[in-house]
Amino acid sequence: MKTLFFLLLSLPITCLYAQERRVVVVPPDSVGVLNNVIAGDTLDNGQRVDPRTIYLLKRNGVYKLVGEIQNQGYPLTIRAEEGEGAMPVLQPTPPSGGGTFSHFTALGDLNQEGLYITKVKEVGAYEERMIRVQSDSARVRLENCWLDGTGQSIVRLGNIGAKVYINNCIASNVGRTFIPNNGRLIDARETTDSVVVTNSTLYNITSRVLRIGGARYFRYIDFSQNTIVNVAQRLITFEETIEARFTNNLVMNPGFLGDLRTSEYLELAELNDELKDIFEAQGIEQSIDVRNNLFFTSPRVAALRGDTVNNQPFYSDDVYKFSVLDSAELVDNFTFTEPIEFKNAPLLPEAVLQGMINDQLFAENIDNGTAPNWPLFASPFNLLVDGALPLPWNFPYDFSYSPVSFAATAATDGGALGDRRWGLEEVDIVLGNDLPEENIFRLYPNPVINRLQLQSSLRMPLRLQIYNTQGKLLLTDELTANDRNVSLRSLPPGTYLVNIWQRGQRVYQSKILKQ
């Protein structure tokens, strides 16, 4: 991912009309200004000035919220202005004497784009949740946001039929490490229509990414193409879900508390008898599609844990039972394990891991003072409190990884696993035609002009595939004993990845330079 945030000049409150939608530009730095501007658009008769208004926030701006913002019966859209500058910061400023609130209580559709939102107060304490949905069939859409630091959940669903769409977002530091039963990206307390999370990066989550409580169910879940780092307990509990999809995800340190939680990474519960009868009458079958994901525990975390805890299996029996694949096929062919080194990812601090383990073993989830919270020193809200936020500020991490990694071509479309906004890390290319004799493969010449030759001791035929550095498949060719070369005339000059397959198994990967 390149620089995420850009610079804009400040403007006074401005009303614009573009394509007949009212646009209000809200100035930063005044406590409660966003609360007041949105509330001020409600007339004495209870009607809105324009229920389709878009509220634009200034780049490099700080917006201190003094209470929850509610949109009773109208869609609320808040987005960052286009142009250069850092993401506008939304931070809680509770009234004197304390108090807590959700930033947003959605009583209608809620759309947020390009915002940095935190629930950490200036004194450093967490507040519980960012967004609370309390309207039947409300839709929440989060796009290009960074949701950073909350005590309980990012989105809590309290009404029937909600829809949540999260795309191109970052969610981090969710939950309190000394209360590992809490801390979720989405916490549903009622039957939910849809949850779709795509192309996003999630890290430092205390409990799990997704859960639903009680005898409720999800109609549809799609959780695909995400990078997930450091989740203490279960990864996702699909629970009573009619249709679920979990594909192309790159997961580091899932369930790092291990069997202290006696739970699997993914869990799907069978529909209760009442729901089963209803859906059978309608011809609806419960299903889950789990494919092309990579799970691994980093060597550092494994070393810190030692023999205290054990890794959990990837899936529960329920997932096997309701999967469209059988269990052996699910694990052997569609789940991968390989250590990944991110260019610059947040490490799981030793004090946090050992503190959580100690609390679970000895204190029954009661904080015994040994488990500090997630490290927040690199987060913008902490820098704001310290007065050390440089402008424009940038995202402090980079989750890109090597293009020669197995994960770089392991997705269902032959591209990279995980959040693709990061791209693949650039690595040095070793060129030359002379390889050790013991190698069973030789691709030459390298650099190549038009025709690439293969020397191999493996039995033919072999399939050769060529990808660009973004993971897009460009060329496929079958190599035989009598034809061991492939034409690259159709490819422009550049760097390419080569994969070679034998009977459906990848047996070699290399990088070439075409001149």
Q: Which tens digits make up the pLDDT trace of 320-329?
A: 444 443 434 4
What share of the chain has pLDDT > 70, as a percent?
A: 76
CB neighbours of residue 164 within 10 Å:
26
The pTM for the full model equals: 0.78
pLDDT-derived band at 502 (thresholds 50, 70, 90) equals confident
Q: Is the pLDDT of residue 438 over 60?
A: no
Q: What is the pLDDT of residue 472?
A: 75
**Nearest one of 341, 510, 311 to 430, comparing CA atoms:** 510
DSSP 248: S
CA gap 336, 148 in Å, rounded: 29
Q: What pLDDT is stored for residue 366 in this prediction? A: 52
Query: Would you state the pLDDT for residue 199?
Result: 97
Contact call for residues 106 and 134 (beta carbons, < 8 A): yes
Q: The tokens of 336 are what?
A: 């991968």
Q: What number is the average pLDDT over the span 209-219?
A: 80
Out of 137-141, 345-349, 414-418, 430-434, least confident range: 430-434
Which of the four pLDDT bands, split at 50, 70 and 90, describes residue 160?
very high
pLDDT, mean of residues 174-188 = 86
pLDDT above 60 for 312:
no
Mean pLDDT of the chain: 79
What integer is the mean pLDDT of 340-366?
75
Least confident of 17-31, 110-124, 297-311, 378-392: 378-392
Question: For residue 294, what pLDDT band results from cuts at 50, 70 and 90?
Answer: confident
Q: Is 138 in contact with 108 (CB distance < 8 Å)?
A: yes
Q: Which of 55-64, 156-165, 231-240, 328-337 is predicted least confidently?
A: 328-337
Beta bridge mates, 502: 505
Q: Which pLDDT does position 25 carry in this prediction? A: 96
pLDDT over 70 (residue 117): yes
Instruction: Tell me what pLDDT residue 225 has.
Output: 97
Arithmetic mean of pLDDT, 255-284 = 75
- The mean pLDDT value for 244-265 works out to 80
